[in-house]
Amino acid sequence: MNGIKIRGTGRSVPGKLVTNQDLERIVDTSGEWIASRTGIQTRRHCAGEETFSSITAEAARRALEDAGVPPDQIGACIVATVTPETLVPSAACGLQAALGLPEDIPCFDLNAACTGFLFALHTMECLLNASPRKFGLVVGAENLSRVVNWADRGTCILFGDGAGAAVVECREGWPSVSAVLGCHGNGELLRLPGPETGEPSYISMEGTKVFKFAVEAVPWCVNQVLQKTGRTVEDVDFFVFHQANARIIDLAVRKCRIPPEKYYKNIAEYGNTSAASIPLVLSELREQGKIGPGSRLLAVGFGGGLTWGGCLIEFA
Q: Which of 31, 102, 106, 207 binds ligand COA (CB under 6 A)?
A: 207
84 — phi, psi (to 5°)? Answer: -65, 155
- Find the shortest distance in angstroms from Cβ 254 to ligand COA: 17
* Residue 114 binds ligand COA, judged by CB under 6 A: yes
> How far is Cα 308 from Cα 316, in angstroms, rounded to an integer?
25
- Find the shortest distance in angstroms from Cβ 277 to ligand COA: 9
* Residue 157 binds ligand COA, judged by CB under 6 A: yes
* Residue 265 binds ligand COA, judged by CB under 6 A: no
- The footprint of ligand COA on this chain (CB under 6 A) covers a number of residues equal to 19
Q: Which residue in the shown chain puts its C-beta closest to ligand COA?
A: 207
* Residue 214 binds ligand COA, judged by CB under 6 A: yes
- Find the shortest distance in angstroms from Cβ 33 to ligand COA: 4
List Cα–Cα distances, 143 to 22, 29, 175, 205, 290, in angstroms: 18, 23, 33, 17, 28
Is 114 catalytic? The answer is: yes
Q: Which parts of 28-67 interact with ligand COA (CB under 6 A)?
A: 29, 33-34, 37-38
* Residue 215 binds ligand COA, judged by CB under 6 A: no
Stretch that binds ligand COA, among 26-34, 64-72, 162-170, 282-290 (CB under 6 A): 26-34
* Residue 144 binds ligand COA, judged by CB under 6 A: no
Stretch that binds ligand COA, among 89-97, 130-138, 151-159, 228-236 (CB under 6 A): 151-159
Q: Residue 306: is the preceding peptide bond cis (ω within 30°)? A: yes
CB-nearer residue toward ligand COA: 82 or 179: 82
Q: Spell out the alpha helix ranges (H) of the chain.
A: 20-24, 31-38, 52-67, 91-99, 116-129, 207-229, 246-256, 267-270, 277-287
CA 85 from chain centre, in angstroms, equals: 17
Say which of 107, 242, 245, 311 is annotated catalytic.
242
Is 272 catalytic? The answer is: yes
What are the contacts of 109-112 at 24+ separation with CB within 8 A? Answer: 109/78, 109/79, 109/80, 109/81, 109/84, 110/78, 110/79, 110/80, 110/81, 111/80, 111/81, 111/82, 112/80, 112/181, 112/183, 112/275, 112/303, 112/305, 112/307, 112/309
- Nearest Cα neighbor of 81 from 103, 53, 44 is 53
* Residue 191 binds ligand COA, judged by CB under 6 A: no
| 151 CB neighbour count, 10 Å cutoff | 10
* Residue 245 binds ligand COA, judged by CB under 6 A: yes
| 112 CB neighbour count, 10 Å cutoff | 26
- Nearest Cα neighbor of 307 from 161, 107, 165, 120 is 120
* Residue 145 binds ligand COA, judged by CB under 6 A: no
CB-nearer residue toward ligand COA: 139 or 276: 276
* Residue 210 binds ligand COA, judged by CB under 6 A: yes
* Residues carrying an active site annotation: 114, 242, 272
**What are the residues binding ligand COA (CB under 6 A)?**
29, 33-34, 37-38, 114, 153-154, 157, 205, 207-208, 210-211, 214, 244-245, 272, 303
